[in-house]
Structure 1
Amino acid sequence: MKNLKSHFKFNKQERSGIFFLILFLIIIQVGYVVYDSYQINEKYPLNIDSNFQVRIDSLKNVALKNDTVKVYPFNPNYISDFKGYTLGMSTDEIDKLHHFRKTNKFVNSAEEFQDVTNISDSLLQVISPFFKFPEWTTKQEYKPSKVSSKKNVNPTTENVIFKDLNTTTAEELRVVNGVGEKLSARIIKFRKRLGGFLVDDQLFEVYYLDEEVAKRILKQFKVISKPNIVKININTATAYELSKLIYIQKEVAERIVNYRNLNGSIKSLNELLKIEEFPAERIDRINLYLSL
């Protein structure tokens, strides 16, 4: 025991040395903690390999594209609440458009759209390039006619013996000045796709047929025997059946079916005007082939 106690006996000088040693160690520990916390909070640039940075940038671009709402051309007269929201319009601006439309009027230009909705110049500049105004919106009210009378054929045709536009051959069409082999074949092909012409004015819709040439054709030919068209029921037809109609593209046919599924049924053919990218300028023509 005496030997064990002798190991813990220190004189005054030794005790002072031990005290200063412990104090020195404590100061070192405190200094290390302070320095370490400072190092954690210090911002250092992160050095990344250039190839790895390229991969990061490409992933950011993909994410940005996925988050971006793609806007297609549309008729601004039929902007829904959701469509207006995605375009950046306020609820008040959308409501103003809807109140205006309830008066059975249409906006016919980007300027009129701004006058009605009071949207800002900056927003108009962004969305107006996507505006798609049909031809009939140049009028205040749209009243579809049963048969279009836009094209005036020579009125003095009482004594002319017309040939039937639905039974004539390509060779017979080529007697008209301006109608060659390719154009006559194109007219016959278009007639076949239609299932036969229902009205004379459908001739003006033949691809690359000049209006003046079409007028010359109608001086000798017109629809005499109309084809027996089985109308497509808009409430039961599939997207494929609708797309077989020459005036309706596949994407529009799919949107019609989606609209019908969301609303239960289509009660009026004029409801089709609400469909995005629907060829509204040909609604009177399309009505000849559809039923409810």
Structure 2
Amino acid sequence: MKKWLNNYFGFTKREYNGLLALMIILLLISMLPYAYAKFWVNTALISNEEHVAIQKLILVNQQEPNYYANMRKQVEDGEANPTTTLFKFDPNVIDVADWQKLGLSVKQAQSIVNYRNKGGKFYKPEDLKKMYTISSKKFEQLAPYITIENTNTKYIKQEYAKQAPYVKKELVIVEINSADTLQLDEIKGVGAAFARRIAKYRDKLGGFYKKEQLLEVYGLDSIKFNEIKDQIKIDATHLKKIKINTAEFDDLKNHPYLKYKQINAIIQYRKQHGKYNDVADLKKVAILTPQIIQTIAPYLIF
């Protein structure tokens, strides 16, 4: 290489040596960050305790790669809480803060308190399981700590393990727009799971205006509908209405009958052409079919 440089560029021996030294210095400078990260940061900035902690994290990640992702999802879903404190409690008495200590989210806790404020009451520990905000897994965790005052029923783990004897339900008539999950469970053919699904879908809709809407509840087919339809009644005065001339996107986004594009079209048409006077005006919104207008009309106020 030295001979080639001399022949091609006319470098002298002294110039060649200077160029070689400069290249070595540049190479050492480029390698300095890697050497710093490997030999200086690891030894000088990380204490022995921190090093041990990092090794433990690496070991957990190797043994169970999805461990931390699963834990984070459970916390978000209200199924786990790193700060959960289990203690003896009466579900008819404790407030939102105490429910949070037991591992429930604010939304879950407030739902139970709202149920009590409307006159709901837990007569036995198993009644808590019928709340759709309490999963089966969460109930299993809380059950040993439930103590209900003013009744002779106290939870005993050994007794709970025994299967409760089948009790034939008497036929009742239940108004489904105002009923809680415990009352819905009294309908023959509706168990705790369907009671929670019906209540959850009803809250999203804003109430039922006809019995056939129950067929929209997940898992409730025509056979189940025919079994329970004569045991229910509907009071349309309990419907939660939407003021269509002032409603914004957030007021409509969770309604099961409307999609995002339809909501935007309703709002944009109102901004461009003024208020809707009646249901007939909705027909002017091209994206809304007659069927959609018919299904949402009972929930609208003009």
Q: TM-score range by the shorter chain?
A: 0.3 to 0.5
Higher relative contact order structure (alpha carbons within 8 Å, sequence separation ≥ 6): 1
TM-score, normalization: structure 2? 0.37
TM-score, normalization: structure 1? 0.38
Q: Which has the larger radius of gyration?
A: 1
